[in-house]
Structure 1
Amino acid sequence: MENRIRGLSAGLVSLGLVVAGGLIGRGFTEARLGDRFVSVKGVSEREVKADLALWPIQFSSADDDLSRAQARNEASIRRTFSFLAGQGLDTAQAQLQSPRVTDRQANPYQPSGGGARFIVSQSLILRSTEPDRVLAASQRIGELVGTGVVLSSGPEYGPSGPSFLFTKLNDIKPAMIAEATGRAREAAEQFARDAREAPQEGTPWTSR
């Protein structure tokens, strides 16, 4: 079993956790019918609420002069921290990743002309125990863009948007295992009853 349940997306926090939680607890039992063995499985479901949010925010700045590109990147950092604080989020839980500098002229396959020479990209990752507040802030990300921050997205930048997790599975796991085991036992007993009532091999089936 996983110790975390991850939400599918910001818009599917509740639904995503319900779907993920539907496969948590599984109990197994066996019903013996003569020399035949049948394994059955019980499933326990829970609706859980995310208790942790991870939000990566990627931004980039471009200029033909590296120092100006770096200055713009520093401005984006300040504006991003200001935006998060304005949304009531604890910026002490935000960590800056190492910046990445791309020199377009250093790439022999880069077409000449068009676009700034230097691109400075950086990511900030916010870890918060207030998923609802993170979700609300992520839906207002346009306000950050309005301050001049250029957000980056795409495979080379990693996932965009917050991820929501449930980290307390161990707290509810015992009850779920017990519930799933009970359901498996009920299924096995029902199967055994049905098998005893079924005609033996070579005996034609009859309807009642």
Structure 2
Amino acid sequence: MPESTSTSLPFALLIAIGIALGGWFIGEGFVEARTGDRFVTVKGVSERDVLADMALWPIRFVASGNNLDTVQDKIRQDRSQIQRFLTAHGIAEDAIELQNLEVIDRTAQSYQAGSYENRFILEQTLMVRSEDVMKINRASQDIGSLVEAGIILNSQYSGSGPTYLFNGLSDLKPEMIAEATRNARESAQQFAHDSGSDLGGIRNANQGVFVILARDKAPMLQEEKQIRKTVRVVSTIEYYIED
């Protein structure tokens, strides 16, 4: 009996050690799991005020009358006067594109009957496309001089003025992403400091979407109609929090 008891002691000791080690590993596993669940979500913002680098300006003009030849002469005269107007504002000729001429004979429209004061209506568009946005902007502010000269503009196309675009986003992206990430990390570090913890590594990151906004925030002001804009990105990052 004593010999049997002495033999069983090492086995019991090994079992006890195994249970203890197993408990330690399990305990460590739970600690890591709980630590892994501790994280903070922060957002980093980066903004840049930019100037548009492309202007698109459709100028659509109209002439009407009962004699087609006379109306055609008027539309040609108006076209030449608009081209001189643009040239006088420093806009290059190769930035001006003559687009389609639309001719309407109102007597040929089956859904309309009766006599008309103006049988023929001719409309044509001059499309201005230029990277010199400031010249386009100044010319558009002087569009009233064309009206004073007797040129009829189609307000649906010309009344809203030029459309301003910004195409330099790819040049801004690296710097703005770095700034947004840096701002997000500073917020996370402040949170960790205030909670008496340390900031760990990144758990998850979302770069965010770049958006181009109107610089001047006001009702009815459209971004594409403003020559000055704001580029904005908001990055969302999750950081681990460590004790």
TM-score w.r.t. structure 2 length?
A: 0.60
Amino acid paired to 2:63: S
Within-5 A mapping of 1:169-208:
169-193=169-193
Shift of 1:44: 0.6
Partner of 1:127: 129
Structure 1 contact 60–73 (Cα < 8 Å) conserved: yes
Q: In the alignment, is the contact (CA less than 8 A) between 2:59 and 2:158 conserved in 1?
A: no
Match of 1:102 in 2: 104
**What one-letter code is carried by the residue in structure 2 that aligns with 1:113?**
S
Aligned length: 164
In the alignment, structure 1 segments of 5+ residues that lack a partner are: 1-31, 198-208
Change (3 A) 1:196 1:112: farther
How many angstroms apart in 1 are the aligned matches of 2:114 and 2:42? 65
Q: Which runs of 4+ in 1 moved over 6 A?
A: none
Following the alignment from structure 1 to structure 2, what is the Cα–Cα distance between the partners of residues 142 and 123?
17
What is the one-letter code of the residue matched to 2:164?
F
1:137 CA displacement? 1.0
Residue 83 (structure 1) aligned with residue 85 (structure 2):
yes
Shift of the alpha carbon at 1:191? 4.0
State the Cα distance separating 1:72 from its structure 2 match.
Answer: 1.2
User: Where do 1:1-208 residues align within 5 Å?
Assistant: 34-35=36-37, 38-110=40-112, 112-154=114-156, 157=157, 160-193=160-193
- What's the offset of the Cα at 1:174? 0.8
Q: Structure 1 residues 189 and 131 mapped into 2: Cα distance closer, same or farther (>3 Å)?
A: same
Q: Secondary structure, in 3 states, of the residue corresponding to 2:50?
A: coil
**Which secondary structure state, in structure 2, belongs to the residue aligned with residue 112 of structure 1?**
coil
Q: What's the RMSD between the two structures over aligned residues?
A: 2.4
Contact 1:88 1:133 in 2 (8 A): yes
The structure whose residues are more often strand, as a share, is 2
Instruction: Give the match's secondary structure for 2:187.
Output: helix
Equivalent AA in structure 1 for residue 79 of structure 2: I
The verdict on how the C-alpha distance between 1:158 and 1:86 changes in structure 2, with shifts beyond 3 A counting, is: closer
CA radius of gyration, larger in: 2
Q: Which runs of 5+ in 2 are unaligned?
A: 1-33, 198-243
Secondary structure at the aligned position of 2:87 is classed as helix
- For 1:196 and 1:111, the matched residues in 2 are separated by 84
